[in-house]
Amino acid sequence: MEHVIGVIPGSAPRLLMAGQRLAPAADVFPDLAPDPVGDSIWVVVAPSDLAAPKGAKWVGARAALPVLPPTTQPIALRALAVANWRQTSRFCPNCGGPVEPNPARDGYICLREDRPVFPRTDPCVITAIMDGSERLLLSHAANHPAGLYTLVAGFVEAGESLEAAVKREALEEVGIEISQMRFVRSQPWPFPGSLMASFAALAVSTEIVVDQDEITDAAWFTRPRLTSLLDSGAITLPLDYSVARRTIEAWRSGALTWAQHDLTA
Ligand SMILES: [Zn+2]
């Protein structure tokens, strides 16, 4: 089955939707040639001011993805990731030469050197830091809406392992030293080009020191205290669909504990 997906790329990309489904973008923009992505996906990359055709609407991808059927989500995620990468990678990174889409590998071929250029993905770690009593550490970032608390997260630096990034971010952002960790789950997050890897980690100490730059507040939460703060509206959590939210909800439900090793939340 072929999918032709309309995308407006960027850090807040949009998808062409008809109700709760992807709109068939095949013939609606005759001036925009679809780019092949893999064997069966075509992406129509649209400029940000392009009006949607009748019966369709440009919808922010963060809002659109959760309503798509589970079988369509990975297709949309792939189209978004490729469209976003292509938008910011229009020349060969080696020689600066012109490129054209290379459907076999989702990337480009450099026309000057005849060499493939592959899409890049930026890994991020996101960590459910727990203490020995299974309290969860949530933090508020300076650039987040008021009251939004989430897990400690950050980009993996060049030449760094995921594990080292988990330890570094915990120390830098909230002053917590991690003794043990394990992988929980991952999720593509093409806003614009990340792969989120979530971990559960055990804190050595419980004294929080926020960096006051990126993070302005952080605290330990028990399950009942978090529920009561959410019920009163004092704090909010990230989007349902995000790996951060899924990991937090796994902890809230008791599925994510430090002792339990089966973590398919
Ligand atoms: Zn080149």
Q: What is the distance in A from the centroid of ligand 1 to the CA of 91?
A: 8
Token pair belonging to 213: 């730059």
Question: How far does residue 110's CA lie from ligand 1's centre (Å)?
Answer: 5
Q: Measured between alpha carbons, how far is 26 from 6 in angstroms, rounded to an integer?
A: 8
Q: Fold for 122-252, please state it.
A: Nucleoside Triphosphate Pyrophosphohydrolase (3.90.79)
Q: Compute the distance from residue 35 Cα to the ligand 1 centre, in Å.
A: 20
Q: Is the pLDDT of residue 2 over 90?
A: no
pTM of whole model > 0.85?
A: yes
Cα–Cα dist 201/173, whole Å: 15
How many Cβ atoms sit within 10 Å of the Cβ of residue 93?
A: 12
Please state the domain extents for the chain: 3-88, 122-252
Q: How far is the CA of 98 from the centre of ligand 1 (A)?
A: 7
Determine the distance separating the centroid of ligand 1 and the alpha carbon of 106, expressed in angstroms: 17
In the predicted model, what is the mean pLDDT of residues 185-200? 93
Q: Given this model, what pLDDT does residue 262 score?
A: 44
Span from the CA of 105 to the centroid of ligand 1 (angstroms): 16
At 263, is the pLDDT very low, low, confident or very high (cuts 50, 70, 90)?
A: very low
d(CA 147, CA 130): 21
**Distance from Cα 249 to the centre of ligand 1, integer Å:** 46
Q: How far is the CA of 90 from the centre of ligand 1 (A)?
A: 11
Q: How far is the CA of 6 from the centre of ligand 1 (A)?
A: 28
The burial of 123, by beta-carbon neighbours within 10 Å (0-12 exposed, 13-18 middle, 19 or more buried), is given as: middle
Determine the average pLDDT of the residues in 234-238. 96
Give me the pLDDT at residue 197, please: 97
CA of 189 from ligand 1 middle (Å) equals 28
